[in-house]
Amino acid sequence: MANKIPTHPLAGLSRQAALVRRRQSVVWGTLLVGLAAIGAGVDLGIRSFWPHGSGIDSRLTSPRNVLVVGLDRSGRNSAGNLFVVARLDPRGGHVTLLSLPARTQTTIVGYGVSSLAQAPALGGLGLAKEAAQELIGAPVDAAIALPPTAETAMIDAVGGLEVYVPTARRIAGAAGKADVVIPAGNQHLNGKTAASYAAAPPDGTGDLGRVTRQQFLIWALARQIGDQGSKIAAVTHVLGHDASGDVQPAELSALAGFLASHPDLEFATLPGDAGFDGAWIPNPLRISALMKQIVRVTRTRGTSAPLAEILFDPLKDKQASKLANELEDRGMTVVRTAPLRHAEPTSIVSRRGDRRLDGAIRGLLPGAPWFLSDDPSPYSADYTFTIGSSR
């Protein structure tokens, strides 16, 4: 096993990583194309909350943050159930999707302490934007709202989603309608079921569980659109009809131009702790640390070999052994290999990893979503590879 990281570690996987990036970026390009139609005057289910443009320059030469809000229902005065700050970094070639749990406790200007979910209901996207900025400690340059009709129709437009459900879920149906039951395992979900799954109330894992479901659904949508390029027009039509925001055509053109360069896609969650009755209590110090990691102001282990751990479905032990050998052959130290105690989907988590390696490492586990973690424990590995039961 090598003791030093080679000059070009994992270089042989660059082509695989590039293919993964191309597929991931398609969904964001599609989203912006649909929003471009909005700026051009396409009829909307919800009118824009802003008559003027956002803070995005026409060429996107520097990083920008865009807030995406999933609403509980169409129309004004709707609460939100999904809040994601998409950071587009043209310098580093990354798109980071930072999930803000809907039940995050925060101070809403003019209303005091409340959950983030109430911000759009109390003051529209403008107030939601202010609340998000306060939480992450960074400016939000633009905002987009998606009603349930857009989420459902967009998923149906691509033929549904292939999603791994770790544990069976029973979701209470609307008045007079039967409950929705989603079995555990690999499932094909239509738009209505997927939307119910994403917006379902927090379970034993608190609001964090709902955020995790939403992240894997977004990933599944990205993959589905990437596999079915012919569906882009249908998704664009859905977004152009139902979405709203403050992003103007010239600004959308800049965003779309960046996304055409196939940036890496990664996920993160606002650091905090579970509180009473599903509330999420933000941790300012950990949020600050994560934001530094997201904007690439973060420490690495320098010349020492990155540490990796591998967790795997017991039926995939051979794949885990192969991955361990590939990591060690390329200068990484595998500190732990263990079977999963509970069913989990496939993923890669980066903590204090070396940014020079991230792009190539993605190719070791093709099709796995990438997560950033602020885990402060000195005993944690730099990377955790989970080879789960998902396809």
pLDDT at 304 over 80: no
Checking if the pLDDT of 228 tops 70, the result is no
Pairing of strands 383-387, 307-312: parallel
**pLDDT (tens digit, 9 = 90+) per residue, 276-290?**
877 899 999 999 988
Could you give the count of Cα atoms lying within 13 Å of 267 in the half-sphere of its Cβ? 23
Kindly state whether residues 316 and 218 are assigned to the same domain: no
- Residue 21 and residue 359: Cα distance in Å, rounded? 9
User: Does some domain include residue 6?
Assistant: no
Q: What is the CATH number of the domain that holds 224?
A: 3.40.630.190
Section 309-317 average pLDDT: 93
User: Do residues 307 and 234 share a domain?
Assistant: no
Query: Which of 326 and 39 is assigned the larger pLDDT?
Result: 326
DSSP states along 333-357: EEEEEEE-SS----EEEESS--HHH
| Shared-domain flag, residues 278 and 324 | no
The mean pLDDT of 115-123, rounded to a whole number, is 92
Type of residue found at 7: T
User: Stretch 351-375: mean pLDDT, rounded?
Assistant: 79
Binning pLDDT at 50, 70 and 90, where does residue 355 land? low
Residue 254 pLDDT > 70, yes or no?
no
Nearest to 245 by CA among 127, 78, 126: 126
The pLDDT assigned to 283 comes to 94
Structural domain ending residue among the three candidates 294, 309, 330: 294
User: Which CATH number do you get for residue 374?
Assistant: 3.30.70.2390
Which residue, among 38, 128, 32, has the nearest Cα to 84 in the 3D structure?
128
Whole-angstrom CA distances from 375 to 74, 357, 378, 384 are 37, 19, 9, 12
Confidence of residue 13 (pLDDT cuts 50, 70, 90): very low
**Which residues sit opposite 81 in a β-bridge?**
none
| Angle value at C-alpha 177, between 175 and 182, nearest 5 degrees | 120
Please tell me whether residues 180 and 123 are part of one structural domain. Answer: yes
Instruction: Give 177-200 pLDDT, tens digit per residue.
Output: 777 888 988 899 998 888 888 877
Residue 251 shares a structural domain with residue 319? no
- pTM of the model as a whole: 0.79
User: What's the sign of the alpha-carbon dihedral 212, 265, 19, 329?
Assistant: negative
State yes or no: pLDDT of 22 exceeds 50. Answer: no
Which residues constitute the domain of residue 359?
Answer: 11-15+300-387
Compute the mean pLDDT over every residue in the chain, rounded to the nearest whole number: 76
Same domain membership, residue 352 and residue 228: no
Report the pLDDT value the prediction gives residue 176, as an integer from 0 to 100: 66
Q: Looking at the domain assignment, is residue 4 inside a domain?
A: no
Burial (Cβ within 10 Å: 0-12, 13-18, ≥19) of residue 258: buried
**Is residue 39 a contact partner of residue 247, using CB atoms and an 8 Å limit?**
yes
362 phi/psi in degrees, rounded to 5: -55, -35
What secondary structure letter does DSSP report for 172? P
For residue 199, the model assigns a pLDDT of 74
- The C-alpha atoms of residue 198 and residue 86 are separated, in whole angstroms, by 18
pLDDT at 339 over 90: yes
Structure tokens that stand for 371 in this block: 């997560």
Helix runs in the chain, H state only: 14-39, 119-136, 148-157, 191-199, 207-227, 232-242, 249-259, 284-294, 317-329, 355-361
